[in-house]
Amino acid sequence: MTPRQGRGFKNTMYGAWYYVVSFVVAFLLVYVTVPYIRKLALRIGFVDRPNHRKIHKEPIPLLGGLSMYFAFVVTAWIFGHAGATFRGIAIGGLLIFAVGVIDDYYKTRGKDFKAWPKFLMQIVAALVLVAFGIRIEGVNLPFHHGFFMFPVWLSSLATIVWVVAITNMINFLDGVDGLAAGLSAISAMTLFFIALLKGQAAMAVFAVVLMGSAVGFLRHNFYPARIFMGDAGATFLGYVLAAIAVDGAFKSATLVSLIVPILALGVPIMDTVWVVIRRVRSNRPIYVADKGHTFHMLMRSGLSQIQTVAFLYLVGICFSLASIVVTLVTLAVH
């Protein structure tokens, strides 16, 4: 097996058992640790309290993201061979998780954490990825059979915009029991298959580990949720998904296949575009939370929480299938 250049990871794809074991270990780490994290959160009062724009009626423990961060880092370290890609995601993910915990702490006290410190930390976390070589490097040009390498400033800017956007988009979806975790699992599964198709062993491992972490948490977070992942967990999921897409689906992308990661994360992108357009038309700040997301609209139309989540899961699966089809067609053409 030949080392993946500059990443400390062997590029030869592993057998199916390797990915299954990776998934199971991540799943079990989250599944087993969440009840202990829940008891800790209840003991110290780290709970999400109901307010006028939240659906739950009773305080819910708000520290579930800790289990997912722990499970992902430990499992990815064991199975991902701890190269530069892992270190970049783990360090940047820790920054995202830490500022998310601060934000969640403010929520437990009935206060709102200012948006700008979170935004700045997300930019720093995206720059960590760039520093470790995880960035959108350029695009394969059609008809010319050449690779257009972005200048460093454009490569860094594109990576920052993508990472910060997806990080927040997943967080926006964390308003209904099981929605963010389930859609993150679907997106991770999609990125896993794309990585397999493109022969990217590292990204396949990281994607399947993230999927296992999200599914393990979903068992405790599906309606009626016994624990929430909080901003710390939701932004961490978004950050890792964005990083995997940058180093996986965007790697050696053609102009056509640039749509692949966008489709893989279709539901959060669709929801965010709708919310931003609606808030801009209403002359309201786009960062101020409200009850205007797609899942709020579906529930106002008469769907239950479970029906709403199931419908958006189905939409997410459709986007994912489209993403895989585009990847297959692109690979067949080239």
pLDDT tens, position by position, for the chain (334 residues)? Answer: 333 333 434 445 688 899 999 999 999 999 999 999 999 999 999 998 765 555 556 778 989 999 999 999 999 999 987 688 999 999 999 999 999 999 999 988 888 888 899 999 999 999 999 999 999 988 776 555 666 788 999 999 999 999 999 999 999 888 889 999 999 999 999 999 999 998 888 899 999 999 999 999 999 999 889 999 999 999 999 999 999 999 887 876 666 667 888 999 999 999 988 888 888 887 877 766 667 788 888 998 989 999 999 999 999 999 999 999 988 988 777 6
Q: What is the DSSP letter of 174?
A: T
pLDDT at 234: 96
Could you please report the per-residue DSSP string of 260-296?
Answer: HHHHHTHHHHHHHHHHHHHHHHTT--TTS--S-SHHH
| Count of Cβ atoms closer than 10 Å to residue 156 Cβ | 18
- Distance in Å from the first CA to the final CA of the chain: 24
| Count of Cβ atoms closer than 10 Å to residue 5 Cβ | 8
pLDDT at 10: 44
pLDDT at 54: 57
Domain limits of the chain? Answer: 3-254
CA-wise closest residue to 124 among 29, 239, 263, 13: 239
Interhelix angle 201-221/84-108, rounded to 10 degrees, is 20
pLDDT at 245: 93
**Largest distance between two CA atoms of the chain:** 62
pTM: 0.90
Cα separation, 104 vs 62, in Å, equals 7
CA-wise closest residue to 309 among 293, 300, 298, 322: 298
pLDDT at 248: 82
Cα separation, 57 vs 78, in Å, equals 40
